[in-house]
Amino acid sequence: MSTVPAVALTNLGRRYGASFVLRGVNLQVAPGRTVVLKGGNGAGKTTLLRVLSTRLRPSLGSGRVFGFDLVKQGHAVRERVAYLSVFGGSYGGLTPLENLALAAQLYNRAPAPGELAALLERVGLGGAQHKLVRSFSSGMKKRLGLARLLLSEADLWLLDEPYAALDEAGKGLVDGLVLEAKAQGKTVLMASHDLERSAPLADSVLELRDGALSVVFTGDAAKTRGAAHG
């Protein structure tokens, strides 16, 4: 049986100016897997997630998401991918409800009556519905990012340090959402320094070092050979 990988990267490279941050990343992630990406500060984790989200173009090599080319079929990739940036990625001049309404438009979704308010309740922002997001704490912005993620209905979640800035309850919320996403068959790729928290959720832990990936842990030992597998 052939299954199209959720993520397939071949010798993928990305440079800023003359300096290569990613140099020959090979990765295959099967649909439904949860993969944690570790690596020191500046290793290139955010860069890799941004390339997968099509926010950055690869400088070398190629990549596919659910079979769609990151460069030539970026639109199809964006329809299947949701990216949570380390800061949550919302508009400060809007309320959280307005942010979600805008996100729904971008996702081409017509939310049901009360759906957006319910999402805010779910991420613990029910009491802050009418504030401007610029007045939010960093943890509140992250929670709003989680609500946007839930709205997206994407098949691949790209999470950049999802636990950062969150209190214990917020971290538990992330754990629950990732497990729920997995139960729904979604693929999750998350960059995290918090291995204690993220590794128990993961099918594989990969390390990005010197611009390439290696396997730290995988639930399937047969997959540790050759290209890094998720």
Ligand X SMILES: Nc1ncnc2c1ncn2[C@@H]1O[C@H](COP(=O)(O)OP(=O)(O)OP(=O)(O)O)[C@@H](O)[C@H]1O
Of the candidates 71, 28, 27, 34, the residue with the CA atom closest to the CA atom of residue 53: 71
- Min dist. Cβ of residue 104 to ligand X (A): 29
- Min dist. Cβ of residue 222 to ligand X (A): 28
Is the CB of residue 40 less than 8 Å from the CB of residue 85? no
Q: H/E/C letters for each residue in 152-208? A: HCCCEEEEECCCCCCCHHHHHHHHHHHHHHHHCCCEEEEECCCHHHHHHHCCEEEEE
Q: Is residue 211 a contact point for ligand X (CB under 6 A)?
A: no
Q: Is residue 171 a contact point for ligand X (CB under 6 A)?
A: no
Q: Is residue 16 a contact point for ligand X (CB under 6 A)?
A: yes
- Per-residue contact string for residues 36-75; x = within reach of ligand X by CB under 6 A: ---x-xxxxxxx----------------------------
- Min dist. Cβ of residue 198 to ligand X (A): 13
- Min dist. Cβ of residue 21 to ligand X (A): 4
Is the CB of residue 189 less than 8 Å from the CB of residue 7? yes
Question: Could you list the residues that contact ligand X (CB under 6 A)?
Answer: 16, 21, 39, 41-47
